[in-house]
Chains A and B, each alone.
Chain A
Amino acid sequence: MTGCAECYGTFKGFYPRIVEPDFEVLHITEVIEDLLRSGKLKPRKNLKMKVTYHDPCLLGRLSEPYIPWSGEIKAYGYHDPPKQWRRGTKGIYEAPRRVLRAVPGIELIEMTRNEENAFCCGGGGGVPAAFPDFALWTAEERVAEARSTGAEAIVSTCPLCQSNFEKAVGTGKAGIRYHDLCEIVVRAL
């Protein structure tokens, strides 16, 4: 189980290119969802907050398991044998949202660019290290989009998104806060 979206995407999409894992990989939001469903976790406190959820890239569109393919590409792009394409269709989009909706008082508002079309936070892929100004600009773009929904907070579930968003939100001048999804759940217990 990983609490980090980049780790999740790496375990699912990159490591299998080297060696096929003999264990299941779950993101923490999937585990929380299970615990909520089974009644083992009971959020009770009313948090009274409007939030918008940001889909991390490696938990969303880039999180599908790697599917090895080898064959021949024939005329007009025909793949022989047929290839299974990874397009972000089966990313982890619903689990975090179901968790948020299960917390009393949370009103979840969607951004226009969400799920597989979410605008990146700019915090992953080595971008903050190589291009810190570009990473910050990217996060500020996303924060502006989040603010336009009327939400009081952006919620996500990736430490790299957290780190970059917290720089962009600054000391509250941006008019919106950042919360990690697990933090929201813990506060509601």
Chain B
Amino acid sequence: MSLPEYIYKMFEGAVGPENISDRPHILAAYRHTSPQDVRKPASPDAVILPGSTEEVQAIVRICRRYNIKYNPVTSLLSVGMPPGNEMKVILSLRRMNRILEINEEDRYVVVEPAVRHVQLKPELMKRGLSYPVPSVGPSCSVMANFLGKGEHHVQHSTSKNNRYLLGYEWVMPTGEILRAGSLACDAGWFCPDGPGPSLAGLVQRAYGVFTKAAIALDAWKGPAAMPTEGRTPAYKVRLPQDCHKVFVFKFPTLDKVRDAMIEIGKAEIGVAVLKFFYATAAVMFTVSANDFWALWESGLFQKELPQAVWIYLATWTPEEMAYEERVMWDIVREMGGEEVDKSIRNLWEDNMDFFIIVSFLQRVLKLGGGWAPVIHTESLPHTVEIAKTIPEFLQEFINKGLILDAPHNFQIIPIEYAHGAHIELLFFYDRTLPNRQRIPMELMKQSMATDIKHGHFAPTAEVGQLYGNFNLWATKIKKAF
């Protein structure tokens, strides 16, 4: 349905006529849904481009008054508009793309929602600063990753991105503006908590629109500019080898992978430690589906990588590198690890942006496919126990020819020197199958059933009772808004 003219005029009054449109070709460009979603994307009734917090507030108030659904977007990788006949608009935040402040001494940066990694990361690298970029890739919103959980490849040494969120400004669904943390007391951006209890858990699934956020920064041990060579599609990003090295080791069992990760965490060495997806790696490092099949059918990745650990060491000096390498090798040898085929290590040495900005992760979509929800666990050992049961439920789908034969295509990334870990499963299904839309749902059901069968998880209602009935509180908060 289209917006009534009087409502359109109200939005136009808030942002100006050049920043709103309901023309069909514009709406078509904004029809989107996430890559895993099998539904046909619904169309908004208008697209609005606010340029400031005040304009966002005006739009949210209009939406609340007339019961209009709204979806703030930057890169269009999010879940799209809901189906149905209710009025709905997209708030494209692309005009709000300013880096507001880089504070090198206190190490934080303040950004608007449409600041993207490709814009922010190089600017910070020039100043010897950095932050973890999640695997979503360079074109996506920095703020979105820090308001969500923000998993990424260097969690081993840095934790999840939501730990780095400092003060933020939020236009709440009520139309009020909340400035959280130290910002609320005019004390700057340094702290996200207060007044009152921390709202950090709330912002991950909040409604409303976030209009500014500060994120903490780390020191960057690499060059001031990303050293890119070559031409599309064969770019290379190599970092100076005296202080940046990547290793890939294979271990005899997942238990040894776990133990190696724990020991490396105890030693507090390394920027990145992870067990990466092996089929996804084959898709990432090939430039066409045919190239992927040539690599996959060679069997190299299946032989070398089901129980492999990637380690990225980055140091300030060659002497520090020598120390970290010695410690790493001690641990790897103790756990029975050995280096994988050199050609695999070369791939990562030639593509070190995997640890910096993950510039080509979207290649994983080229075969068609999706992935199961990320599962959070309390400990690395728990994650490994879950991983051992993955082939059990995947095999049925592989045997029926519904998904690619890659039963070990999951990744485990320790967090904060192996104090915790996250696990993620990625499966590929063929888009030409007539019943492909059912595959992700069926697979996820089997995944949940396997988790419950092995006692890895319990239904939320049971778990909630042990954790302050968080599930009931979440329902109440949603109802309040």
A residues sitting closer than 8 Å to B (CB atoms) are: 61, 73-79, 82-83, 85, 87-89, 93, 115-117
- A contact residues around B234 at 8 Å (CB): 89
- B contact residues around A61 at 8 Å (CB): 232
Question: In the bound complex, do residue A85 and residue B288 qualify as a contact, i.e. CB atoms below 8 Å apart?
Answer: yes
Q: Contacts A82-B290, A85-B288: A76 and B232 contacting too (C-beta < 8 A)?
A: no
Q: Contacts A78-B289, A79-B289, A83-B290: A89 and B233 contacting too (C-beta < 8 A)?
A: yes
Shortest distance from the beta carbon of A139 to any chain B beta carbon, whole Å:
19
A105 to B231, CA, bound (A): 28
B227 within 8 A of A: no
Shortest distance from the beta carbon of B458 to any chain A beta carbon, whole Å:
36
Question: In the bound complex, do residue B290 and residue A89 qualify as a contact, i.e. CB atoms below 8 Å apart?
Answer: no
B367 within 8 A of A: yes
- A contact residues around B288 at 8 Å (CB): 77, 79, 83, 85
Residue interface mask B290-314, A partner, CB < 8 A = 1 = 1011000000000000000000000
Shortest distance from the beta carbon of A136 to any chain B beta carbon, whole Å:
14
Closest-by-CB residue of B relative to A84 is: B288
Q: Contacts A88-B232, A89-B231: A76 and B290 contacting too (C-beta < 8 A)?
A: no
Candidates B232, B292, B404, B430; contact of A89 at CB < 8 Å: B232
B348 within 8 A of A: no
Closest-by-CB residue of A relative to B294 is: A82
Shortest distance from the beta carbon of B320 to any chain A beta carbon, whole Å:
32
Per DSSP, chain A at the interface is loop
Question: In the bound complex, do residue B290 and residue A79 qualify as a contact, i.e. CB atoms below 8 Å apart?
Answer: yes
Question: In the bound complex, do residue B367 and residue A76 qualify as a contact, i.e. CB atoms below 8 Å apart?
Answer: yes
Question: In the bound complex, do residue B231 and residue A78 qualify as a contact, i.e. CB atoms below 8 Å apart?
Answer: no
Question: In the bound complex, do residue B232 and residue A75 qualify as a contact, i.e. CB atoms below 8 Å apart?
Answer: no
Closest-by-CB residue of A relative to B230 is: A89
Closest-by-CB residue of B relative to A117 is: B232
Closest-by-CB residue of B relative to A93 is: B231
Shortest distance from the beta carbon of A56 to any chain B beta carbon, whole Å:
17
- A contact residues around B289 at 8 Å (CB): 76-79
B432 within 8 A of A: yes
Question: In the bound complex, do residue A116 and residue B290 qualify as a contact, i.e. CB atoms below 8 Å apart?
Answer: no
Shortest distance from the beta carbon of B92 to any chain A beta carbon, whole Å:
16
Question: In the bound complex, do residue B232 and residue A87 qualify as a contact, i.e. CB atoms below 8 Å apart?
Answer: yes
- A contact residues around B232 at 8 Å (CB): 61, 87-89, 116-117
A87 to B234, CA, bound (A): 11
A79 to B368, CA, bound (A): 14
A83 to B291, CA, bound (A): 11
Q: Contacts A82-B290, A83-B290, A85-B288: A77 and B233 contacting too (C-beta < 8 A)?
A: no
Question: In the bound complex, do residue B368 and residue A76 qualify as a contact, i.e. CB atoms below 8 Å apart?
Answer: yes
B428 within 8 A of A: yes
B376 within 8 A of A: no
